[in-house]
Amino acid sequence: MRQAIGGRVRGLVGSGELDLTRPVGDPGLFGPGSATWAVHGDFTSMMIGGVCSLMVQMLHPAALAGVWDHSDFRRDVTGRLKRTAQFISVTTYGSTEAAERIIARVRSIHDRVTGTLPDGTPYTAGDPTLLAWVHAAEIDSFLRAHLRYRDSAMPVARQDAYVAEMATIAERLGAPDVPRTRAALTAYITAMRPALRADDRTRAVAGRLIRQPSPSLLNAPVNAVMMQAGIELMPRWATDMHGFGVPAAGRPAIRLGALGVGRLMRWALR
């Protein structure tokens, strides 16, 4: 059972395709004692945070346009999630050389993602302002999930360390002046809210993410729980913008289910 569940999870995120070995004396970008290793080390909370992150990111018109114009999201949602998971895995646990190589590859992809918003405004994925938003929404979501589903007692200083460590990835991708503390991260996201929008295209992309088919019947219940937990994890203002109704009475059941999935996954992936 452990091999069956673990194998399917590793196939979903493509971890078996990665070389995460590091030369002796090379701790990678962060190292075993880092806050990043702690936060990124739990599969369930990272997947829940990933769902939340995508939902919040797409509220920015330019982030949504990049997905709409340049991503095969209608047929390859799983592929997009897999590529994101592999980027996080390599930059977190891989060698310094491997991390720098995958960061350079993503930067080159960003340079090719350009277009025009419906109102005629040009956009590019390499825009530092857009990179900062995508980064902030992602890190905030991962940290929210970690605090809710893995370590609710994580000290603020440790949370600040995580935000500061991950800021180095954003800077390597081309986003200057990103938040370096939890308080600064929260203030940044609050300041960005007037620039966020939700329209028919947002609902189409979000709907496709929610309704993505499960790779197998075994995965389906787990996927459903993590999807619900990711939506429930969003800030209330974000769920309101998306038009998601998450009744207060249903929240405890969602969280309890996600905690159960977390225990199962830690057993399978120990």
Q: What angle do CA 155, 161, 167 make, to 5 degrees?
A: 145
pTM of the model: 0.91
Q: How far apart are CA 45 and CA 49, in angstroms?
A: 6
* pLDDT for the residue 94: 94
Q: How far apart are CA 226 and CA 257, in angstroms?
A: 9
Q: How far apart are CA 267 and CA 199, in angstroms?
A: 41
* pLDDT for the residue 210: 85
Closest Cα to residue 196, out of 238, 234, 232, 235? 238
- Regions of the chain where pLDDT drops below 50: none
Sign, CA torsion 75/79/80/81: positive
Residues 6+ apart with CB under 8 A from 91: 29, 99, 102, 103, 169
Residue with tokens 């609902």: 203
Q: Is 145 exposed, middle or buried (0-12, 13-18, 19+ CB in 10 A)?
A: buried
Kindly report the number of other CB atoms within 10 A of residue 158's CB atom. Answer: 14
* pLDDT for the residue 156: 98
* pLDDT for the residue 9: 64
Q: How far apart are CA 155 and CA 198, in angstroms?
A: 34
* Residue 183, CA atoms < 13 Å, CB-side half-sphere: 2
* pLDDT for the residue 82: 77
Q: How far apart are CA 125 and CA 7, in angstroms?
A: 34
Largest CA distance in the chain: 53
Q: How far apart are CA 177 and CA 50, in angstroms?
A: 23
* pLDDT for the residue 16: 64
